[in-house]
Structure 1
Amino acid sequence: MLSAIALTGQPAPDAPGRILSSLGDAQINSSGDIAFSAGLYDGRTLLDAILLRSGDTLRKIVDTEAEAPGAPGQKFSSFGLVRLNDAGDIAFQADLGSPPVETGEHFPASGIFLITGGRLREVVLDAPPLFSLNNQGDIVFADGSRVLLFSDGSFKTVATSGQPVLNWTRTLESMSQPWINDQRDIIFVNQRQISPRFVTFFPNAIVRWREGVLEKIAAAEDPVPGVAGAVFDESFNSPHIDNRGRMGFSARMKMKTNANDISTGIVTVEDGRLAVVAREGQVIEGVGKLSFIGLPDFGQQGKLATFVGKVNDGSALGTLGFSGVYTVTPDRFTLNFPHVADGAGPGGGWRTTFILANRSTDTAAATVNFYDDSGKPLEVEVGGQRASQFAVSIPSFGVTRFQTDGHGPLKVGWATAQADQRVLSGIAVFELFDDSGKVVSEVGASATVPLRSMSVFAEGGPSTYTGIALVNPNIISANVDLILRDSNAKELTRQTLTVPGMGHIAKYAHELFPGVSLPESGGKIEIFSTQPLVGLTLRQRQGAFASLPVIP
């Protein structure tokens, strides 16, 4: 599943008046925290910064207005590599500006810096820009002809030009982009020099060092798994290895029958098996088609990957390309519930009951998230616990039921249930209760799937009302056209509205089409959206409610 956590153009955190104007390559840890560099622009000046997304919060860690520790009088001028470990430490490479007063003494032009427990300090100045940090505090870096490991206060050369490599006919030439795990396994890119007269190199292989043994993982002209007729080109980047020995990297691929048919993908390696998990040309539902994939990060536990990508969504903006930070996670099945009502309102109070059924032989784990009309987390009470997210377990071939408490003023929104299995089904039951707590009416509606176009039944009359709920489960706002037709398909009127990203709209039909009477004989509302929506229709007749199906 792919999702965006930051987009260019949105307000920059902790920087009033500035927006995110550019996004750098991102790093993720096993807790799901993501660190990346970004440009912050206010229309006049541009700051570089390092941002951290932890939980649902995105915040600024450091920017180019800060003075660099260990280099008196010098400020950061730009940020390079950003590394984040499972302890929450952030290491980064930065270029430094000149001191304000020239003293004639040498001043460092760059360095590697570390933020631990909120404290910023230098690690080494005038160091190579490519490095890696593990959870043990070991640092590995490459200076071209060597890969060096700094551990326990001393340096060790682990690879050098001219060394042979297991399962490969070539020897090491120039090395770059090393990565280290907590067991001190190291993976890096080997580069082929075009000729002794040129200093241009082609990254032609991924190599692993483990306990003194060098081994080829992938190389140019090796077949690409899962892409018929494709081989790896001489372009490998961003290798990673986690603490279980699982590896990942990005690579350019070409078709053997057409060398000009090339694309970039993200590759993982587990138990010796290679797999392509993301590739240019892939469609991200609700966002668009990936036209560019940046350098990925996989996290030390290998469960997540994140990358900066560019999409084309078919609009004028998409034609130019629109950047975002995306994640690749293990597939999770999502149930969408287009409406939730909880609390006291006019005519009584409401509770929403969720019933989740597991058709698998294994216990299923699910996370239920509640959102308000604007797409922000919506807090409700379940069993006296107030939160916007609840974890539930559904036994094998069993059913789990949980209900909002119905306390406080009326709150409306929508919900999702994300499960680790695709054999989950669910229904939401809306209960209307009187002042004594007695249920006077209830109606159930199944979870629905997102659609770009759909129709819903609509009916009017002296005591009949049709309620419609629409949810946009995407991060991009949806422009929606609504067309009201009678039972003979004659158009009566139409309206246009916008549903914000992750947003929710719940209205009666007469509110959507003011001044137009709905036919008592019934009709329908056609819905066309620029983003896939989930919908629900409820008919209210006096005190009774009925759920009407959405027509795809």
Structure 2
Amino acid sequence: MKRRVAKFSVTVLVMAWSLGGVVLAESLSIVAVSGQSTPDDDGVFSLIFLSSLNNRGQIVFEAYLDDTNDGRDAVASVFRSDGASGLVEIVRNGVSDPSGTGRFRSMSQPSLNDAGEIAFRANLRTNDDTANFAGLYRGVGGNGLQEVFRSGQPAPDGDGIFGNAGGPVLNESDQIVFFSQLWVTNAVDGIFRRDGSAPIVQLARAGQSPPDGDGVFQRFNSLAINNSGLTTFLADIRDAHTRGDNGGIFGIDDSNGLMVEMVRTLDSVPVGHGFFNSLGNSALNERGQVVFSASIGGLGVEASEDSGLFLVQNGTGVTEIVREGQLTPSGDGEYERFGVFALNDAGQVSYHATIRNAASGSANLGGIFRSDDSGSAIEIVRSGEPVNGGDVILNFDSIALNNSGQTVFLGLLSSRMGTHVPAGLYFHDDALGLLQIARVGDSLLGSTITRLQFKGHGESINNQQHSGLNDLGQVAFTFDLADGRDGIAIWSPPATVPEPQSLVLVSALLLAACWVRSRGGVKPPRR
């Protein structure tokens, strides 16, 4: 039998003095680690997966459990961390579904909102073990789960039955949107929304014409919903008479249910010459703005200027954010290609771009930049620049941006050259500059970090879901350790405490440190 380890919380806090008060350096809190017992002591965590973080500091994550009270291992589960209040179990394998007709087998793609409500996709088995089915569920855990839909139930218009579904996208207004296949004579894709306990509403489906009647929808991608109920999506279109097979970004307004075309291939670009040849992933903010990547074609468009990032808002048209061939903010090199990107509610876009014709050779690998719809842009970091520990960042991955303009990303470091595994996690703030959150090789829980993972924006078809960065500047990430354990942690950025509170705070910290020391410290769990 595996050794159970008591539930615990470890927070590392470093303090420094500055004029005007006490500056608290960043803190790192361990949320869960393999070998740790579940809140009800029914199993221990064995594997912990990538997570999302809301603006209250709550985290949702998937995990496998070993050594449960009924003797099972590798039990799939979903948990929410409520900070100092501890962990809340949402669901696990073997638990009955809300209807009582089946049992959960596996769960995936959990999302959460700022109220702490969670939605997830699940595979289930009927109680008589004769059939499998899939569904979407929402709630806060325990008896609070609600079935959003299940495979086999009729479509809202009666034309077909639900099949498999993608992950749900959840807003703060009790609304969920999701992709699902519909089975009629064959499988067709559709987009659906459910408001609370109201019936499911069909928003779009393959075979339906877009608003201008030119062509029919074929497939959907980049689904998002904001708190005003605006749903946006990217669609492939076939059989168009005037444009041929193409694509577009569309929005559906919750106030009137009308679908509008926001941008479509063959539309003219807003600056210079050319037209949108193809549209890439997109993301939505609370202002109703959508950022998207695009390739550009047309007479006279050179290969050196045929891609970019653009912002569109219904009624105001398309704005160019950045385009291939433009000079970088420092003037050292030109943008070449654009990778992952993220959008905030201020209309700012953080993105990874490769660079050509830079004066320094390594800088050609690229960098992380932030631009907005006013045309202003900053360089956050360039490849080849030194970071903490004497390392140099070679490449970038997994980017996120919050409403304060703070950016988080993973970097491939020179010390890990040849591994192709991101080895450093970094945080940028306009006032604080670039801070290292964690890196491979750092000491943690009596071992060393061997792997880091972070959930950025734009890494799935549901770009708009919470990432591992929130508006408080907190960052949630998962780690693997050299001793075989893995876990999840939350990092908080530095903050300054006003001078009148300084002595009280210092005293409280010292007392807390003495209390931990008097109890023998906190020992890391072992498997």
TM-score scaled by length of structure 1:
0.44
Structure with bigger strand share is 1
Structure with bigger helix share is 2
**Between Structure 1 and Structure 2, whose CA radius of gyration is higher?**
1
Q: Greater relative contact order (Cα 8 A, min sep 6): structure 1 or 2?
A: 2
